C-alpha cells in the first residue's frame, strides 16, 4: 500500500519561500489556506486548491486546474510559473472563476468549509485551531478482502486541535443543506469512515499516523509561518490525546423552518 504522510522538509520550505506563490500566501492570508501535503503544498481559495507546488527548487512552477484560469476549459491541469499564478489571482481572474455562480452553487459546502477554517483561525479567543482540510486516510490504496476492488479512502473535511495541551484532536464533517446528510457521502458514510479509520484496523492508527502527521504539519508551519497559530502547537506525541473527537457541523441559512428540517433530518440518521 502507498502511504500518505503529510509534511515538507527544510529544503523544500526554503525553496518555496523564494517563490511568488509564497508571497501570494503572505499577502492574502485572510482568504487563502496553506495545505501541507505529502512532500508538496496546496494553496486553497474558498475550498478549491488553486495550485499544487511540488518542486519550487527546480522551476518555480505550480500546477493549476485549467478551469480556474478559464471556466470554458474544464479538463485537466497545466503548469504555470508561480509569478503567473500570483498575477492571475490578484487580477481577480482565478477568484472570479471560483466565485462564478455555476461553480459556487456546485461547491457551496467546500466554500463554507474554508470560510469556517479561516474565520476560526484568526479568532484569538477560539479554543481550537484548524490544522488541515481535506484530510485523507493514511493509505492511498486499500482493497477489499479479495484484493480485487480498489476502495475510495476515507476523507474528513477539517482537522482541528485545541490550542492548549494536552491537545484534543477533532475530525469535523461539514454538511450544507438536508440533501447533503443522506446518500453515498452522507452522515452514515462518514461515520463508517471514522470507524474504519480508528477502530477497525489493527495497530494504533492515531498514535502511529494521525498525530505524527499533525506534528509534521506543525513543524512545516513553523518553517513557513512561525507566527501562525498552528506553529504554536506541541511537537511531542505525548501532548496529544489518543482518541480523536468526531463532529458534524450542519449549515442551513434559509430561515427557522429550514433549520428545523435540518435538525429532524439529522435526528433520523
The distance from CA 152 to its chain's CA centroid, rounded to whole angstroms, is 17
Same domain for 253 and 143 = yes
Pair 51, 143 in one domain: no
- Which pLDDT score, from 0 to 100, does residue 108 have? 86
Same domain, 94 and 204: no
Region 222-226 average pLDDT:
96
If one compares 261 and 244, the residue with the highest pLDDT of the two is 244
The percent of the chain in helix, strand and coil, each rounded to the nearest 5, is 40, 25, 35
Number of domains in the chain: 2
pLDDT tops 90 at residue 93: yes
**DSSP symbol at 119:** H
- Copy the grid coordinates of residue 42: 496546496
Domain that holds residue 266: 108-269
Residue 153 has pLDDT above 60, yes or no: no
Query: Which one of 57, 81, 106 terminates a domain?
Result: 106
Max mean pLDDT among 133-147, 192-206, 220-234 falls in 220-234
Q: Same domain for 102 and 127?
A: no
For residues 83 and 166, state if they share a domain.
no
Each residue of 10-37: pLDDT tens digit? 999 999 999 999 999 999 999 999 999 9
The residue whose grid cell reads 481577480 is: 92
Integer CA distances (angstroms), 240 to 165, 228, 251, in order: 7, 19, 29
* 236 in the same domain as 122: yes
Residues 102 and 145 in one domain: no
Predicted confidence (pLDDT) per residue in 98-117, tens digit: 998 877 878 888 999 999 99
C-alpha cell recorded at residue 169: 484532536
Highest mean pLDDT among 2-16, 46-60, 64-78, 244-258: 64-78
Give pLDDT, residue 86: 96
Residue ending a domain, among 72, 106, 140, is 106
Domain boundary among 88, 106, 124: 106
Whether the bond into 166 is cis, omega within 30 of 0: yes
Same domain, yes or no: 37 and 128 = no
Q: Report d(CA 21, CA 23) in Å as an integer.
A: 5
Q: Are residues 173 and 91 part of one domain?
A: no
In this structure, the answer to whether residues 124 and 238 fall within a common structural domain is yes
For residue 213, count CB atoms less than 10 angstroms from its CB and return exposed for 0-12, middle for 13-18, buried for 19 or more.
Answer: buried
Residue with cell string 493549476: 64
Whether residue 29 sits in one domain with residue 116? no
Mean pLDDT over 232-260 rounds to 85
State the pTM of this model: 0.87
The total number of residues written for the chain in this structure:
269
Q: Please, is 81 exposed, middle or buried when counting C-beta atoms within 10 Å of its C-beta (0-12, 13-18, 19+)? A: middle
Answer yes or no: do 58 and 188 share one domain: no
Amino acid at each position: 500500500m502507498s502511504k500518505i504522510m503529510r509534511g515538507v522538509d527544510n529544503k523544500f520550505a526554503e525553496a518555496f519561500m523564494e517563490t511568488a506563490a509564497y508571497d501570494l500566501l503572505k499577502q492574502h492570508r485572510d482568504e487563502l489556506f496553506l495545505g501541507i501535503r505529502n512532500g508538496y503544498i496546496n494553496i486553497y481559495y474558498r475550498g478549491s486548491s488553486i495550485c499544487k507546488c511540488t518542486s519550487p527548487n527546480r522551476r518555480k512552477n505550480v500546477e493549476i486546474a485549467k478551469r480556474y484560469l478559464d471556466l470554458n476549459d474544464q479538463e485537466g491541469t497545466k503548469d504555470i510559473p508561480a509569478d503567473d499564478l500570483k498575477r492571475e489571482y490578484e487580477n481577480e481572474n482565478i477568484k472570479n472563476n471560483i466565485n462564478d455562480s455555476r461553480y459556487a452553487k456546485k461547491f457551496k459546502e467546500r466554500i463554507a468549509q474554508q470560510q469556517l477554517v479561516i474565520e476560526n483561525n484568526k479568532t484569538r479567543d477560539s479554543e481550537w485551531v484548524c490544522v488541515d482540510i481535506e484530510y485523507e486516510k493514511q493509505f492511498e490504496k486499500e482493497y477489499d478482502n479479495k484484493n480485487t476492488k480498489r476502495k475510495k479512502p476515507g476523507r474528513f473535511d477539517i482537522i482541528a486541535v485545541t490550542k492548549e495541551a494536552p491537545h484534543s484532536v477533532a475530525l469535523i464533517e461539514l454538511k450544507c443543506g438536508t440533501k447533503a446528510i443522506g446518500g453515498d457521502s452522507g452522515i452514515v458514510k462518514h461515520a463508517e469512515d471514522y470507524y474504519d479509520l480508528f477502530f477497525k484496523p489493527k495497530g494504533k492508527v492515531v498514535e502511529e499516523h494521525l498525530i505524527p502527521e499533525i506534528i509534521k504539519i506543525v513543524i512545516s508551519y513553523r518553517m513557513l509561518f512561525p507566527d501562525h497559530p498552528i506553529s504554536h502547537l506541541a511537537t511531542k506525541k505525548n501532548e496529544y490525546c489518543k482518541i480523536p473527537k468526531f463532529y458534524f457541523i450542519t449549515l442551513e441559512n434559509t430561515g427557522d423552518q429550514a433549520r428545523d428540517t435540518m435538525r429532524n433530518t439529522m435526528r433520523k440518521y
